[in-house]
Chain A
Amino acid sequence: MIFNAGSYMTAETPQQNLPEDDHVMRHIAKNRIRRDASGHVVGINSQAFRTRPTDNGALSVNWLEWFRKPTENDNIKVSIHVLRNTRNIGPHDAFGIGQVKKIKEVCRSRSKQVRIVHAPSRENPAHSTILRLEQDDIILQEALADEAFCQLIQNKDI
């Protein structure tokens, strides 16, 4: 079992799979946002979904429905607020949002059976991870960028 750095789960705590219909949000650093040559935002670059060697194949996301706010927009706002308090979020950064079911479907199309599990930390109780991603699968990363995480919200807009 892989535990995310900062997680307060213990070896005895089972990792909860996120419901298929729920959504996750990933922080997209400014330099991984896809722009045209004029600086217009046109999407997310696939490299935003590349794990670092220290990530052990686990990609950090936030579980939006964990916040149980009345609307999806409220969940998004509170998630961004939490991320701003726990990470270095710049004015030109953004957040990609994808549905759990779609993310798994996209990964299956590349023969990857990923798990998306709740991995809360003290600072971020909605923190979750996508497990079993391979660092070198550029086509899967591209599919996550242009098909699975199809909603992009710029930090400056919230």
Chain B
Amino acid sequence: MTDMQQLINPQPYHSCVFSQLTKLHNDNVSSAFNSTAINTISAEQTKPLNKNCSLNERLYEATARIKILIAKLSMHMEQEWRSNLFRQIDFLHTPEDWQEEDAPANTESFANFLKALLDIKPHLLPGLGLTYEGNIIAAWTTGKDRLTLEFLPNGHVQWVMSICAENEAERLGGKVAVSRLRERLSNNDLQRWFVHDSRNATTESA
């Protein structure tokens, strides 16, 4: 199995590749937001996917780029987070569900998502989705309350929240630079979204 295959299908997650990458980046950077690893996405990772390749190849390539990005930041993440994100990315790129007109996940959009995630450090990871343009959607749901973030490739986040009060939904939305997202959300009770509340656990299975 090649290094790339191990990244795409890690078995187990503390494979030699992760260990090597972790050592390489184990520079005790306290703020992942300022980490050079996340701010220096290589040109190789952002070049457009080859449209002449088969769908499976394009999805494989997009998945690999994102998993490499996650691996580069492994020192900032618990293994549980890493494996969860790997699983969600695999699910988003499942070929048998793929809509032909959709674009695979955009690496820059995902990098912005990782920046926000490591800056906010939520107790709960979001459920991930994709727009048809390939932007990452991160969704937190607490009962009837919803927070949805769409990470644009240009460093901005389109956010929308829906809060149910007295059986009526209040909705807010806007666009903000990813560097200001935590500050923007802190005006709307960060804990509501990012702290676990077992009362709202759902039992419906995907």
A: which residues have CB within 8 A of B? 29-37, 39-43, 45-47, 50, 52, 88, 90-93, 138-139, 141-143, 146-147
Residues of B within 8 A of A52 (CB): 101, 132
User: A47 vs B96: C-alpha distance in the bound complex, in angstroms?
Assistant: 21
Q: Are A41 and B141 in contact (CB under 8 A)?
A: no
Given contacts A33-B129, A34-B127, A35-B129, contact A90 B173 (CB under 8 A): no
User: A117 vs B172: C-alpha distance in the bound complex, in angstroms?
Assistant: 29
Q: Are B131 and A138 in contact (CB under 8 A)?
A: no
9 shortest interchain CB distances as A-B pairs: A90-B97, A35-B127, A37-B125, A31-B130, A39-B206, A30-B97, A42-B141, A142-B160, A138-B173
B150 within 8 A of A: yes
Q: Mark B109-149, 1 if CB is under 8 A from A, else 0.
A: 00000000000000011111111100001010100101010
Q: Are B139 and A45 in contact (CB under 8 A)?
A: yes
Q: Are B202 and A146 in contact (CB under 8 A)?
A: no
B102 within 8 A of A: yes
Residues of B within 8 A of A141 (CB): 160
B: which residues have CB within 8 A of A? 84, 87-88, 91-92, 94, 96-102, 124-132, 137, 139, 141, 144, 146, 148, 150, 158, 160, 162, 169, 171-173, 202-206
Residues of B within 8 A of A35 (CB): 127-129, 139, 206
User: A90 vs B84: C-alpha distance in the bound complex, in angstroms?
Assistant: 22
User: A89 vs B98: C-alpha distance in the bound complex, in angstroms?
Assistant: 9
User: A152 vs B53: C-alpha distance in the bound complex, in angstroms?
Assistant: 35
Q: Are A46 and B206 in contact (CB under 8 A)?
A: no
B25 to chain A, nearest CB (A): 24
Q: SS class of chain B's interface: helix, strand, loop or mixed?
A: mixed
Nearest residue in A to B143 (C-beta to C-beta)? Answer: A42
Residues of B within 8 A of A93 (CB): 97
Contact of A146 among B99, B158, B169, B172 (CB under 8 A): B169
Q: Are A37 and B202 in contact (CB under 8 A)?
A: no
User: A50 vs B144: C-alpha distance in the bound complex, in angstroms?
Assistant: 21
Nearest residue in A to B130 (C-beta to C-beta)? Answer: A31
Q: Are B141 and A47 in contact (CB under 8 A)?
A: no
B148 to chain A, nearest CB (A): 6
Q: Are B160 and A138 in contact (CB under 8 A)?
A: yes
Nearest residue in B to A47 (C-beta to C-beta)? Answer: B131
Contact of A46 among B91, B125, B148, B202 (CB under 8 A): B148
Nearest residue in A to B140 (C-beta to C-beta)? Answer: A36
Nearest residue in A to B87 (C-beta to C-beta)? Answer: A39
Residues of B within 8 A of A90 (CB): 94, 96-99
Q: Are A32 and B162 in contact (CB under 8 A)?
A: no
15 more contacts with CB within 8 A, not counting A31-B130, A36-B127, are A32-B130, A34-B129, A34-B139, A34-B148, A40-B205, A47-B129, A47-B132, A47-B150, A52-B101, A92-B94, A92-B97, A139-B171, A139-B173, A142-B162, A146-B146
B38 to chain A, nearest CB (A): 20
Q: Are B169 and A36 in contact (CB under 8 A)?
A: no
B147 to chain A, nearest CB (A): 10
Nearest residue in B to A155 (C-beta to C-beta)? Answer: B97
Residues of B within 8 A of A91 (CB): 96-97
Q: Are B158 and A138 in contact (CB under 8 A)?
A: yes
Q: Are A39 and B146 in contact (CB under 8 A)?
A: no
Residues of A within 8 A of B146 (CB): 34, 43, 142, 146
Q: Are B171 and A40 in contact (CB under 8 A)?
A: no
